[in-house]
A and B are shown apart, each in its own frame.
Chain A
Amino acid sequence: MGLQPYLILSAVVFCIGLFGVTTRRNMIGILLGIELMMNAVNINLVAFARYTAQVTGMVFTVFTICITVTEAALGLAIVILLFRVRRTVMADHLDLLKG
Chain B
Amino acid sequence: MMANPGNLALAAWLLPALSFLVLAIVFPLRRLGKPAAWFSILCAAAAFVSAVMAWRIQSVSAHPVHLVWPWLSSAGKNLADVGVLVDAQSTIMLCLVSLVALLVQFYSLGYLHDEAPAALGRYYVYQSLFAFSMMGLVLAPNLLQLFICWELVGLCSYLLIGFWYQRPSAARAAVKAFWITKAGDVGLLIGIVMLYQLAGTFDLTELHSLAATNAIPLAGLSIITFCIYLGAMGKSAQFPFHVWLPDAMEGPTPVSALIHAATMVTAGVYLLVRTDWLFALTPNVLVIVAWIGAFTALLAAVLACVQDDIKRVLAYSTVSQLGYMMTAIGAGVASAGFFHLLTHGLFKALLFLGAGAVIHAVGSNDLPRMGGLARRMPQTAIVFIVGTLSLAGIPFFGGFLSKEEILGAVWAGGLTGPFALLMLVAFLTAFYMFRVVFLAFFGTPAPMAAMAHAGHAGAHVNETPHAHEPPLTMLLPLWVLALMTMAVGVYTTFNEAGGRALSGAPGGETAAPGWLTPSAVGVATAGILLAWLTYQSRTINASSLAAMFGPIRAAALRKFWIDDVFEGLYGFVLLGFSRIIGWIDRYLVDGVLNLLSDWTVQAGDELRGIQTGKPQDYVYGVGAGVLVLILLMRLVF
Determine the distance from Cα of A98 to Cα of B612 in the docked complex, in whole angstroms: 5
Partner of B608 from the list A91, A92, A94, A99 (CB cut-off 8 Å) is: A99
A30 at the interface (CB under 8 A from B): yes
Mask, B600-636, CB within 8 Å of A = 1, is 0000000111111111100110010000000000000
For B623, what are the chain A residues with a Cβ–Cβ distance below 8 Å? 18, 22
Docked pose: A30 CA to B615 CA in angstroms? 9
Q: Are B613 and A99 in contact (CB under 8 A)?
A: yes
Within 8 A of B (CB), among A1-33: 18, 21-23, 30
C-alpha spacing A30/B616, complex, angstroms: 9
Contact partner, B620, options A22, A94, A95, A99, Cβ 8 Å: A22
Residues of B within 8 A of A30 (CB): 615-616
Distance, CA A30 to CA B612, complexed state (A): 18
Interface residue from A22, A96, A98, A99 paired with B616 (Cβ < 8 Å): A22
Q: Is the CB of A98 within 8 A of B611?
A: yes
Q: Does A97 make an interface contact (CB < 8 A)?
A: yes
A95 is contacted by which of B607, B610, B613, B619 (Cβ under 8 Å)? B613
Number of interface residues of B (CB under 8 A): 13
User: What is the distance, in angstroms, from A37's C-beta to the closest C-beta of chain B?
Assistant: 11
Q: Which of B608, B611, B619 contacts A22 (CB 8 A)?
A: B619
Q: Considering the chains assembled together, what is the distance between the CA atoms of A60 and B536 in angstroms?
A: 123
Complex CA gap A86/B615 in Å reads 16
In the complex the two chains form, what is the Cα distance from A21 to B609 in whole Å?
A: 22
**Chain B: minimal CB distance from A88 (Å):** 14
Can you list, as one digit per residue, whether each of A65-99 has a CB less than 8 Å from chain B (1) or not (0)? 00000000000000000000000000110111111
Task: Give the number of chain A interface residues (Cβ < 8 Å).
Answer: 13
Per-residue interface assignment for chain A, residues 35 to 75, with 1 indicating a CB less than 8 Å from any chain B CB and 0 otherwise: 00000000000000000000000000000000000000000
- A92 near B614 with CB under 8 A, answer yes
Contact at A97–B613, with CB atoms within 8 Å?
yes
Interface residues of B in 508-532 (CB under 8 A from A): none
Q: Is the CB of B613 within 8 A of A21?
A: no
CB distance from A40 to the nearest CB of B (A): 15
**Contact partners of B613 in chain A: CB under 8 A:** 94-99
Instruction: Tell me how far the C-beta of B375 lies from the nearest C-beta in chain A, rounded to whole angstroms.
Output: 96
Give chain A residues whose Cβ lies under 8 Å from the Cβ of B615: 30, 91, 94
B627 to chain A, nearest CB (A): 13
* Known contacts A22-B619, A22-B620, A95 near B614 by CB under 8 Å: yes
- A63 to B615 CA separation, bound complex (whole angstroms): 26
Task: Give every chain B residue within 8 A of A96 (Cβ-Cβ).
Answer: 613
Query: For the complex, what is the distance from the CA of A94 to the CA of B623, rounded to whole Å?
Result: 21
Bound together, the chains give a CA A21 to CA B615 distance in angstroms of 9
Closest B residue to A92 by beta carbon equals B614
Q: Cα distance A96–B612 when bound, in Å?
A: 9
B196 to chain A, nearest CB (A): 67
Residues of B within 8 A of A95 (CB): 612-614
Which of A91, A94, A98 has most B Cβ within 10 Å?
A98
Complex contacts, B607 vs chain A, CB 8 Å: 99
Task: With CB as the reference atom, state the residue of chain B lying closest to A30.
Answer: B615
In the complex the two chains form, what is the Cα distance from A95 to B620 in whole Å?
16
Contact, CB under 8 Å: A21 / B619: yes
Are the C-beta atoms of B611 and A99 separated by less than 8 Å? yes
Q: How far is the CB of A14 from chain B (nearest CB, A)?
A: 12
A63 to B614, alpha carbons, bound, how many Å? 30
A94 contacts which chain B residues (CB < 8 A)? 613, 615
Q: A23 — nearest CB in chain B belongs to which residue?
A: B616
Task: Please give, as numbers and ranges, the residues of chain A lying within 8 Å of B619 by CB-CB distance.
Answer: 18, 21-22
Q: Whole-angstrom distance from the CB of A38 to the nearest CB of chain B? A: 15
Q: Which residues in window 323-367 of B have CB below 8 A to A?
A: none
Asked whether B614 lies within 8 Å of A99 as measured between CB atoms, the reply is no
Q: Which residues of A contact B620 (CB under 8 A)?
A: 22
Q: Enumerate chain A residues within 8 angstroms of B614, measured Cβ to Cβ.
A: 91-92, 95, 98
Cα(A27)–Cα(B59), bound, Å = 110
Which A residues touch B609, using CB under 8 A?
99
Give the docked Cα–Cα distance between A91 and B615 (Å): 7
The docked-state distance in angstroms from the alpha carbon of A98 to that of B613 is 4
| B contact residues around A22 at 8 Å (CB) | 616, 619-620, 623
Which single residue of chain B is at the shortest CB-CB distance from A25? B616
Measured between alpha carbons, how far is A18 from B616 in the docked complex, in Å? 10
How distant is the Cα of A10 from the Cα of B614 in the complex, in angstroms? 27
Residues of B within 8 A of A98 (CB): 611-614
Chain A residues lying within 8 Å of B616, measured Cβ to Cβ, are 21-23, 30, 91-92
Task: Specify the chain A residue showing the minimal Cβ separation from B608.
Answer: A99
- In the assembled complex, the CB of B614 is this many whole angstroms from the nearest CB of chain A, namely 5
The residue on A at minimum CB distance from B615 is A91
Cβ distance B610 to chain A, nearest Cβ, rounded Å: 7
Interface string of B163-182 (1 = CB under 8 A from A): 00000000000000000000
CB distance from B604 to the nearest CB of A (A): 9
Q: Which residue of A lies closest to B604 (CB)?
A: A99
The interface centre, meaning the residue of B610, B614, B620, B623 with most chain A CB atoms within 10 A of its CB, is: B614
Min C-beta distance of B412 to chain A, whole Å: 93
| Bound CA span A18–B623, Å | 10
Q: Which residue in chain A gives the minimum CB-CB distance to B607?
A: A99
A91 to B623, CA, bound (A): 18
Cβ of A85 to closest chain B Cβ, rounded Å: 16
Q: Complex formed: what's the CA distance from A23 to B612 in Å? A: 16
**Which residues of chain B (549-566) have a CB below 8 Å from chain A?**
none
Q: List 10 A-B contacts (CB under 8 A).
A: A18-B619, A21-B616, A22-B616, A22-B619, A22-B620, A91-B615, A94-B613, A96-B613, A97-B613, A98-B612
List 15 additional A-B contacts (Cβ < 8 Å) besides A92-B614, A95-B613, A99-B612.
Answer: A18-B619, A21-B619, A22-B620, A23-B616, A92-B616, A94-B613, A95-B612, A96-B613, A97-B613, A98-B611, A98-B613, A99-B607, A99-B608, A99-B609, A99-B611
Top 4 A-B pairs ranked by shortest CB distance? A95-B613, A99-B611, A98-B613, A99-B608
